[in-house]
Amino acid sequence: MARDSQAALVALNRFGFGARGGASGDFTNAASDPRGFVIADLARPNGALLEMPGQLSTAELGKQVFDYQFEVQQARNAAKAAQSTMSETAPAADAKPAQRRNLSLSSAAKEIAGKDPAMQAPGQMADTANAGAMQPSANPAKPAVEPPNIIQKTFRAEALARLQRGVVVDCGFAERLVVFWSNHFCISANKGALARMWAGSFEREAIRPHVLGRFADMLKAVEQHPAMLFFLDNQQSLGPDSRAGINRKRGLNENLAREIMELHTLGVGGGYTQDDVTALARVITGWTFAGRQGQLGAPGSFVFNANAHQPGPQQVLGKTYSQNGVAQGEAVLADIARHPSTAKFIATKFARHFVADDPPPALVAKLQDVFTRTDGDLKALATALVQSNEAWQTPLTKMRSPYEFLIASGRLLARNPEDPGRYLNGLNLLGQPLWTPAGPNGFPDSNAAWAAPEGIKLRLDIAAQLGAQLADRFDPRELLELVAADAASAETRRTVERAESRPQALALLLMSPEFQRR
Amino acid sequence: MDCSESAMMQATSRRALLLGGASFAAWAYLPKFARAADGRDPRFVVMILRGALDGLATVAPLGDPDYAGLHGAIALRGDGPNAAVMLDAFFGLHPAMPEFARMYRAKQAAVVHAVATSYRDRSHFDGQDVLESGFPGPGRVQSGWLNRALEALPKGERVTSALAVGPTTPLVLRGTAPTVGWAPTALPQAADDTAMRLLELYQHRDPVLASALTQGLQLEKQAQGDDMKPKPGGGGAAAMRLVARGAAKLMAADDGPRIGALAFDGWDTHANEGGPVGRLAQLLGGLDAALAEFQNGLGARWRDTVIVAATEFGRTARINGTEGTDHGTGTIALLAGGAVGGGRMITDWPGLKPANLYQARDLAPTTDLRAVIKGVLHDQFGIAERVLAEAVFPDSAPVKPMKGLVV
């Protein structure tokens, strides 16, 4: 079969998460039929869904948070009550057995760890060795190690499932689409306990089912998801003339309405006014989730609270919506989803993510047309991108995001993580903490953001450590064949081959333009 | 209550999060004869110098009439400022290694010159495979000769659990015999040499990344200020010292490991190698300091210690067009320790006349490195010659253990 190594790079890196190592044959398969290799990823039934062992729904997770917070509060109250009657006791558990010898290994270990701040307690290395050596082990200095609470445990389990999917999946195009849409409709785990608890289930429930479905369905699922309602404060927004609004003398919070228009659909300059934002805010009053008491529904589930809903018709983007209840907002969202500004905004962002910071206008026009013609069929959109010539002819100039870089490294080095810590720490260091962007506009999607000086130096440091930890298991020259084969530049090939050691060669390979650009 | 994943965005905290690359690995058990009746409690340390050490620049054959011409601008001299330290009438030691010179004078250090493994090509990776695996040819990376030597030793108590399995056990110590390790934390930076190689690649292939990396490296320097912290991720001289200091402390303990290995990178001096001062001089200073750290840290145990420092191959006898040297063949191995029969040069000197050079470019190897290591393993631990010839260094029966290396 004909081999097109340059197109294989495009298939693997522009569309996918990079070639897997070992005997995957990814590069060869991609080179023999580049477009087919990518399209096949969209053909797997439910390929974008993620089933975790023991996974819980957003409502179930929400209930756990409510219960946990309730318990913590109870314990605090109890402790306060007890404090006055109890005296402090010495922590006997800290006492160490007496030293039998003067010159013992543990004292030596303690000595070197204690005297020199650059030296670590040797025991930490167990973590490094067992956890799959993906990222430098990070044991953030915490004086007392408390067992992770239910929120931390859930976040890590959800993160692990996502990371593992990225590392093992065939081409990764569908998973790249998940990451794209998840960032488009981002929440931030930093918002609070519920957001951290729900970060994973939000993506599983609101994003993944629609990545190859309809944009309007994803939009509705997102804006009615408790995580988004919590992230953008809609549970606090009350219709000024609603019963709750009148009783509590509180009113609208425009946060979610504004971001729906500005970030999720029409885009800045998409033809909406402040009046439209305010009207949409009124329309979606009452969109909330049930609390611990469960008066409105199952705790932690989406509910429409008629008591908080602004009564009466609303005019949005020149159209009057007279529906009652939740149907009013759903009708507005359905119309916004197929608005021409939305088609343009989504097409541009989509092309910018996959192809270039300044995507070819012809490609954007083509995608916009597909989006419009198919009424927001996202599988058709993705397919049109793969079938376009622009996507294959535009040079690979985009920087991999930190997430893409770490996942691609894990794939190449066949490090399917058993613990998410290394990846999460690497993402933190490189400025892309998982599910935790700085604002509702998500992580940046430009070379200016990811090819910044500090970021590149940090990537190099991480690559050097991956090299130091893992290089002995690989021949870097063989890895280069898996990454780029004859699409590798002569300079990259020479740099890898002439490295002074395997660790250095692997670090240089991971930092080469062939591995960093997509 | 907030989870750690979110709270670490500040660049200042990152050093605390990352492990350094340099490490020390050791056998997880004591040999059974430790503290036996004769009071001898032998220790053995292998230092792998990755990147190919220039033996002619480290222990220079000043008495060879061809040396000065071949090594040109970077050749050592026997007189003047920064003169080499004469080890005998013929060989001079690099002036960056005063500690080794002191040990040599105290008959606790020796140099084997014109030595090489059985590998005769010039790939670092393959050369390191052969050096560390102990197999005659490259491609065997499942276990190292030191690990297989451990399997021949009577296994005593396990060293205490204060040490865990290390992330970077070098190949020489990898295998079925369990090992433990230790590495300094923090200071996770890539070695300068790695950064420079990457920068060169970017300059050819990706000017935008070249510019970003250049600025990133400058930022890093500024952030460090005059903070002289070492960089164990690379081959920095201070890193060698730091790792050696920690390893020596651990190996000095009564219940600490007896047999260990360290790996130091950075010896691939293709350009601007430097003579009495410069890049190689800095690295040699680090190696010298590491040896001194072992002597200091092991205290009374130094008496029973042998350290062998070895590299995958040597470098060209003639310097290249960038005042460096390219991949070669024959080089040196260094022995240090209170148990070394030292104070002597061990060599069958081949000479540097063009006809005597290997392939008309490299110092010709006249000693098989395996003979040196076999000699040490035999004398230090009593490992039988047959085991050495079959299990430790497979297919090496013709290479006899060198005698008299250990006193």
Query: What's the burial of A55, exposed, middle or buried (CB within 10 Å: 0-12/13-18/19+)?
Result: middle
> Quick one: which of A189, A188, A220, A183 has its CA closest to A205?
A220
pLDDT band of A101, cuts 50, 70, 90 = very low
Q: Is the pLDDT of residue A346 over 70?
A: yes
Mean pLDDT of B31-39: 69
- Domain count across chain A: 2
Of B228, B251, B282, the residue at which a domain comes to its end is B228
Is B309 found in the same domain as B205? no
Residue B347 lies in a domain: yes
Residue B283 to chain A, least CA–CA distance (Å): 15
Residue B207 to chain A, least CA–CA distance (Å): 10
Is A432 found in the same domain as A490? yes
Residue B121 lies in a domain: yes
pTM over 0.80, yes/no: no
Is A440 found in the same domain as A505? yes
Range 262-281 of B in CB contact (< 8 A) with A: 265-268
Is A484 found in the same domain as A406? yes
Residue B404 lies in a domain: no
Please state, in angstroms and as integers, the Cα–Cα distance from residue B262 to each residue in A21, A259, B147, following that order: 29, 56, 13
Phi, psi of B158 (to 5 degrees): -80, 140
Is B183 found in the same domain as B195? no
Is A443 found in the same domain as A485? yes
Q: Is A491 on the interface with B (CB under 8 A)?
A: yes
Residue A430 lies in a domain: yes
Q: Answer for the pair A511, A499: CB distance below 8 angstroms, yes or no.
A: no
ipTM: 0.83
pLDDT band of A98, cuts 50, 70, 90 = very low
User: Which of A107, A465, A502 lies at the smallest CB-CB distance from B125?
Assistant: A502
Residue A412 lies in a domain: yes
Residue A210 lies in a domain: no
Q: State the residue range of the domain holding A495.
A: 397-516
Residue B34 to chain A, least CA–CA distance (Å): 15
Of A353, A375, A393, the residue at which a domain comes to its end is A393
> Quick one: which of B330, B324, B335 has its CA closest to B406?
B335
Mean pLDDT of A454-470: 88
Report H helices in B48-154: 55-58, 67-71, 98-105, 124-133, 145-151
- Closest chain A residue to the Cα of B127, Cα to Cα: A501
Residue B135 lies in a domain: yes
Is A384 found in the same domain as A423? no
Could you report the per-residue pLDDT of B106-121, keeping only the tens digit for each? 999 999 999 999 999 8
Residue B254 to chain A, least CA–CA distance (Å): 6
Percent of residues in chain A assigned helix, strand, coil, to nearest 5 = 60, 5, 40
Range 427-446 of A in CB contact (< 8 A) with B: 428-429, 431, 433-434, 436
Cβ-defined contact of B17 to A109 (cutoff 8 Å) = no
Per mean pLDDT, which range of B123-132, B240-249, B392-401 is the poorest?
B240-249
Please state, in angstroms and as integers, the Cα–Cα distance from residue A318 to each residue in A223, A255, A275, A343, B129, following that order: 22, 21, 10, 19, 74
Mean pLDDT of A464-471: 88
Residue A214 lies in a domain: no
Please state, in angstroms and as integers, the Cα–Cα distance from residue B42 to each residue in A216, A221, B80, B265, B391, following that order: 75, 70, 41, 27, 21
Range 2-61 of B in CB contact (< 8 A) with A: 3-9, 11, 13-14, 16-21, 50-52
- Closest chain B residue to the Cα of A111, Cα to Cα: B249
Is B196 found in the same domain as B53? no
| Cα dihedral B162, B165, B169, B172 sign | positive
Is B127 found in the same domain as B50? yes
Residue A78 to chain B, least CA–CA distance (Å): 19
Of B205, B228, B251, the residue at which a domain comes to its end is B228
Cβ-defined contact of A126 to B230 (cutoff 8 Å) = no
The secondary structure element, H or E, covering residue A233 is none
Is A411 found in the same domain as A380? no
Residue A354 lies in a domain: yes
Q: Answer for the pair A199, A61: CB distance below 8 angstroms, yes or no.
A: no
Is A401 found in the same domain as A358? no
Could you report the per-residue pLDDT of A118-142, keeping only the tens digit for each? 333 333 333 333 333 333 333 434 3
Is A408 found in the same domain as A507? yes
Tell me, what CATH number does B373's domain have? Answer: 3.40.720
pLDDT band of B25, cuts 50, 70, 90 = confident
Is B200 found in the same domain as B265? no
User: Which of B1, B141, B185 lies at the smallest CB-CB distance from A119?
Assistant: B185
Helix (H, G, I), strand (E, B) or coil at A62: helix
Residue A204 to chain B, least CA–CA distance (Å): 20
Q: Answer for the pair A14, A391: CB distance below 8 angstroms, yes or no.
A: yes
Cβ-defined contact of A151 to B202 (cutoff 8 Å) = no
Is A425 found in the same domain as A442? yes
| Cα dihedral B209, B215, B218, B220 sign | negative
Q: What is the pLDDT of residue B163?
A: 57
Residue B8 lies in a domain: no
Cβ-defined contact of A458 to B14 (cutoff 8 Å) = yes
Q: Is the pLDDT of residue A175 over 50?
A: yes
Is B244 found in the same domain as B221? no
Of A324, A358, A393, the residue at which a domain comes to its end is A393
Is B322 found in the same domain as B248? yes
Could you report the per-residue pLDDT of A250-295, keeping only the tens digit for each? 888 888 998 999 999 999 889 999 899 999 999 999 999 999 999 9
Is A401 found in the same domain as A389? no
Residue A356 lies in a domain: yes
Residue A49 to chain B, least CA–CA distance (Å): 25
- Exposure string of B156-187, with b = 16+ CB inside 10 Å and e = fewer, is eeebbebbbbbbbbbbbbbbebebbbbbbbbb
Could you report the per-residue pLDDT of B338-393, keeping only the tens digit for each? 999 999 999 999 999 999 999 999 999 999 999 999 999 999 999 999 999 999 99
- Closest chain A residue to the Cα of B297, Cα to Cα: A108
Per mean pLDDT, which range of A100-104, A146-150, B2-6, B182-186 is the poorest?
B2-6
Q: What is the pLDDT of residue B277?
A: 92
Is B248 found in the same domain as B329? yes
Range 117-136 of A in CB contact (< 8 A) with B: 117-120, 122-126, 128-130, 133, 136
Residue B48 lies in a domain: yes
Q: State the residue range of the domain holding B193.
A: 188-228
* Diameter over CA atoms, chain A: 86
Residue A427 lies in a domain: yes
Distance CA A284, CA A331 (A): 11
Is B348 found in the same domain as B371? yes
Q: Is A115 on the interface with B (CB under 8 A)?
A: no
Query: What's the burial of A372, exposed, middle or buried (CB within 10 Å: 0-12/13-18/19+)?
Result: middle
Helix axes A378-387, A361-373, angle to 10 degrees: 150
Is B346 found in the same domain as B294? yes
Is B153 found in the same domain as B221? no
Is A441 found in the same domain as A344? no
Of A393, A427, A454, the residue at which a domain comes to its end is A393
- Domain count across chain B: 2
Is A455 found in the same domain as A403? yes
Is B264 found in the same domain as B177? yes
Which residues have C-beta within 8 Å of that of residue B161, sequence separation ≥ 6? none
- The tally of CA atoms less than 13 A away on the side-chain side of residue B76 is 29
Cβ-defined contact of B164 to A129 (cutoff 8 Å) = yes
Residue A92 lies in a domain: no
Q: Is B163 on the interface with A (CB under 8 A)?
A: yes
Q: Answer for the pair B175, B148: CB distance below 8 angstroms, yes or no.
A: yes
Cβ-defined contact of B184 to A460 (cutoff 8 Å) = no
The CA dihedral of B243, B249, B250, B254, to the nearest 10 degrees, is 160
User: Which of A109, A136, A495 lies at the smallest CB-CB distance from B197?
Assistant: A495
